[in-house]
Protein backbone atom coordinates (compact mmCIF):
# COMPACT_ATOMS: atom_id res chain seq x y z
CA UNK A 1 0.00 0.00 0.00
CA UNK A 2 2.66 2.46 1.06
CA UNK A 3 4.88 1.56 -1.87
CA UNK A 4 1.94 2.20 -4.19
CA UNK A 5 1.36 5.69 -2.76
CA UNK A 6 5.03 6.56 -3.14
CA UNK A 7 4.92 5.50 -6.79
CA UNK A 8 1.88 7.67 -7.37
CA UNK A 9 3.66 10.70 -5.93
CA UNK A 10 6.83 10.04 -7.94
CA UNK A 11 4.74 9.73 -11.11
CA UNK A 12 3.00 13.03 -10.40
CA UNK A 13 6.38 14.59 -9.69
CA UNK A 14 7.59 13.58 -13.15
CA UNK A 15 4.82 15.65 -14.73
CA UNK A 16 4.62 18.54 -12.27
CA UNK A 17 5.76 22.02 -13.33
CA UNK A 18 5.27 23.58 -9.92
CA UNK A 19 5.52 22.53 -6.32
CA UNK A 20 3.49 24.27 -3.63
CA UNK A 21 4.86 23.26 -0.26
CA UNK A 22 3.17 24.13 3.01
CA UNK A 23 4.17 23.74 6.62
CA UNK A 24 3.54 25.02 10.10
CA UNK A 25 6.64 26.39 11.82
CA UNK A 26 7.78 23.91 14.45
CA UNK A 27 10.72 24.89 16.62
CA UNK A 28 11.86 27.64 14.24
CA UNK A 29 11.79 25.50 11.13
CA UNK A 30 9.65 23.42 8.81
CA UNK A 31 7.78 20.45 10.29
CA UNK A 32 9.44 17.05 10.56
CA UNK A 33 6.87 15.69 8.12
CA UNK A 34 7.86 18.16 5.40
CA UNK A 35 11.54 17.51 6.11
CA UNK A 36 10.94 13.80 5.44
CA UNK A 37 9.26 14.66 2.13
CA UNK A 38 12.23 16.83 1.13
CA UNK A 39 14.63 14.03 2.05
CA UNK A 40 12.70 11.64 -0.21
CA UNK A 41 13.16 14.13 -3.01
CA UNK A 42 16.77 13.09 -3.15
CA UNK A 43 16.05 9.99 -5.21
CA UNK A 44 13.84 11.99 -7.60
CA UNK A 45 16.23 14.93 -7.82
CA UNK A 46 19.58 13.19 -8.18
CA UNK A 47 21.55 13.69 -10.34
CA UNK A 48 19.05 16.04 -11.99
CA UNK A 49 15.65 17.36 -10.85
CA UNK A 50 12.32 16.13 -12.27
CA UNK A 51 12.43 17.34 -15.87
CA UNK A 52 9.24 19.40 -15.95
CA UNK A 53 9.69 20.98 -12.55
CA UNK A 54 10.38 24.70 -12.89
CA UNK A 55 8.68 26.57 -10.05
CA UNK A 56 8.07 26.46 -6.34
CA UNK A 57 5.93 28.36 -3.84
CA UNK A 58 5.71 28.03 -0.08
CA UNK A 59 2.95 28.56 2.49
CA UNK A 60 3.94 28.91 6.14
CA UNK A 61 1.98 29.25 9.36
CA UNK A 62 3.46 30.18 12.72
CA UNK A 63 2.43 31.22 16.20
CA UNK A 64 4.64 34.30 16.33
CA UNK A 65 5.63 36.83 13.65
CA UNK A 66 8.97 36.66 11.81
CA UNK A 67 9.61 33.00 12.57
CA UNK A 68 10.47 32.05 9.03
CA UNK A 69 14.27 32.18 8.84
CA UNK A 70 14.74 28.42 9.21
CA UNK A 71 12.02 27.57 6.68
CA UNK A 72 13.34 30.14 4.21
CA UNK A 73 16.84 28.69 4.55
CA UNK A 74 15.44 25.34 3.46
CA UNK A 75 13.27 26.89 0.72
CA UNK A 76 16.23 28.74 -0.77
CA UNK A 77 18.84 26.05 -0.28
CA UNK A 78 16.82 22.98 -1.21
CA UNK A 79 14.42 24.32 -3.83
CA UNK A 80 15.70 27.57 -5.35
CA UNK A 81 19.41 26.77 -5.38
CA UNK A 82 19.72 22.96 -5.38
CA UNK A 83 16.76 22.22 -7.68
CA UNK A 84 17.12 25.60 -9.45
CA UNK A 85 13.41 26.37 -9.30
CA UNK A 86 11.82 29.75 -9.89
CA UNK A 87 10.53 31.43 -6.73
CA UNK A 88 6.76 31.96 -7.07
CA UNK A 89 6.52 33.49 -3.61
CA UNK A 90 6.20 32.68 0.05
CA UNK A 91 2.89 33.22 1.84
CA UNK A 92 2.92 33.52 5.62
CA UNK A 93 0.33 33.76 8.38
CA UNK A 94 0.94 33.99 12.10
CA UNK A 95 -1.05 34.01 15.31
CA UNK A 96 -4.66 35.10 14.95
CA UNK A 97 -4.15 35.73 11.23
CA UNK A 98 -4.35 31.95 10.87
CA UNK A 99 -8.06 32.04 11.54
CA UNK A 100 -8.95 35.37 9.93
CA UNK A 101 -11.19 35.70 6.89
CA UNK A 102 -8.93 38.47 5.51
CA UNK A 103 -5.92 36.17 5.49
CA UNK A 104 -7.98 33.37 3.94
CA UNK A 105 -8.92 35.72 1.08
CA UNK A 106 -5.26 36.71 0.66
CA UNK A 107 -4.30 33.04 0.51
CA UNK A 108 -6.97 32.39 -2.13
CA UNK A 109 -5.56 35.25 -4.23
CA UNK A 110 -2.04 33.91 -3.75
CA UNK A 111 -3.18 30.46 -4.87
CA UNK A 112 -4.92 31.92 -7.92
CA UNK A 113 -1.74 33.82 -8.84
CA UNK A 114 0.24 30.58 -9.10
CA UNK A 115 0.40 29.71 -12.77
C1 LIG B 1 5.65 21.30 18.13
C2 LIG B 1 5.31 22.72 17.81
C3 LIG B 1 6.33 23.63 17.71
C4 LIG B 1 6.05 24.97 17.38
N5 LIG B 1 7.07 25.85 17.26
C6 LIG B 1 6.80 27.14 16.92
C7 LIG B 1 7.86 28.09 16.77
O8 LIG B 1 9.03 27.79 16.94
N9 LIG B 1 7.54 29.36 16.44
C10 LIG B 1 6.25 29.75 16.23
O11 LIG B 1 6.03 30.92 15.92
N12 LIG B 1 5.22 28.86 16.34
C13 LIG B 1 5.47 27.58 16.68
N14 LIG B 1 4.43 26.67 16.80
C15 LIG B 1 3.06 27.11 16.48
C16 LIG B 1 2.62 26.60 15.13
O17 LIG B 1 3.41 27.13 14.09
C18 LIG B 1 1.14 26.93 14.91
O19 LIG B 1 0.43 26.22 15.87
C20 LIG B 1 0.71 26.52 13.53
O21 LIG B 1 1.23 27.40 12.59
C22 LIG B 1 -0.82 26.44 13.36
O23 LIG B 1 -1.44 27.62 13.77
P24 LIG B 1 -2.69 27.57 14.78
O25 LIG B 1 -2.19 26.92 16.03
O26 LIG B 1 -3.10 29.01 14.98
O27 LIG B 1 -3.73 26.76 14.07
C28 LIG B 1 4.71 25.36 17.18
C29 LIG B 1 3.68 24.42 17.31
C30 LIG B 1 3.98 23.12 17.64
C31 LIG B 1 2.84 22.12 17.79
**Per-run averaged pLDDT (10 residues), the chain, 115 residues:** 72 92 97 92 78 96 98 96 95 97 98 95
The Å distance, Cα 115 to ligand 1 centre, comes to 29
Domain edges within the chain: 18-113
Residue nearest to atom 4 of ligand 1 (CA): 26
- Ligand 1 atom nearest the C-alpha of 24 is 21
**CA–CA separation, 13 and 6 (whole Å):** 10
User: What whole-number distance in Å separates Cα of residue 33 and Cα of residue 68?
Assistant: 17
Residues with CB under 6 A from ligand 1: 24-28, 61-64, 67, 98
Distance CA 99, CA 10 (A): 33
What long-range pairs does 42-45 form, CB within 8 A, spacing at least 24? 44/10, 44/13, 45/82, 45/83
Atom of ligand 1 nearest to the CA of 65: 11
User: What is the domain class of 18-113 according to CATH?
Assistant: alpha beta
Amino acid sequence: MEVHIHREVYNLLKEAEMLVIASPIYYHGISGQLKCVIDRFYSAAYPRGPKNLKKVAMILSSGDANMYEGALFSFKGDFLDYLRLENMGVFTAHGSENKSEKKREELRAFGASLR
